[in-house]
Amino acid sequence: MNKAVILLSGGLDSTTVLAIAKAQGYEPYALSFRYGQRHSVELESAQRVAQAMQVKEHVIADINLRAFGGSALTADIDVPKGRDTATMETSIPVTYVPARNTIFLSFALGWAEVLEAQHIFLGINALDYSGYPDCRPAFIAAFETMANLATKTGVEGNKLSIHSPLIQMSKADIIRKGLELGVDYSLTSSCYDPAADGKPCGQCDSCQLRAKGFAEAGIADPLLRHYDQA
């Protein structure tokens, strides 16, 4: 089997990407980050997902992006609530973590070289998203070019590929694809500002985009059902 490093946050998108990589026959090595984010709920979800989906190995790397701050996810800045999707598309929100996907992909690239893996998967999306600049096709193409210039693997002619299979999919289509592949979305968490027990706030950009996706797919969110039954 071809080895692949999968960036796994524990959210809906990255969990779907893990399922896609497995369905395509890749042997998945999941990589998550404890990067100074404001809560550990999504990371706990990543651990549940990695175990349930039987990844070959799951590494949680420590990076202290809170040392820099600059984001509502890594500093004492309020998470925006109640924004409509039209507003989300007009500007980059304070939940953007400076250079986060570049940093995460760089770690994934390093591990891929050690594993002798030529494939990296991540769950970025450029349709139903909050306007982050590092979720666009141009960014992925540029990073792949850089990866093949900056690594021993690349310069020796073993091409590294960055896969972003969700990048042009709506959230509803992502959910439908995941369900087709047997993803249990009750294991995932998308909220930027959840309660201590993990219950999503329902009002942040990520919660609203998730709710929109499930509504458009005509499916009840099993994560909400889990908390309604608790």
Residues tagged in the binding site annotation for Zn(2+): 191, 201, 204, 207
- Spatial distance between the Cα atoms of 223 and 114, rounded to a whole number of angstroms: 36
Nearest to 173 by CA among 165, 62, 224, 45: 165
Give binding residues as ranges: 8-18, 191, 201, 204, 207
Encoded amino acid at 39, one letter: H
Instruction: Kindly state the tokens that stand for 92.
Output: 């980059």
Residue 210 burial (10 A CB sphere; 0-12, 13-18, 19+): buried
Give binding residues for ATP as ranges: 8-18
Residue 90 burial (10 A CB sphere; 0-12, 13-18, 19+): exposed
Nearest to 163 by CA among 113, 124, 131, 129: 124
SS3 state at 132? coil
Q: Distance of CA 29 to CAs 12, 37, 53, 224, Å? A: 18, 22, 11, 29
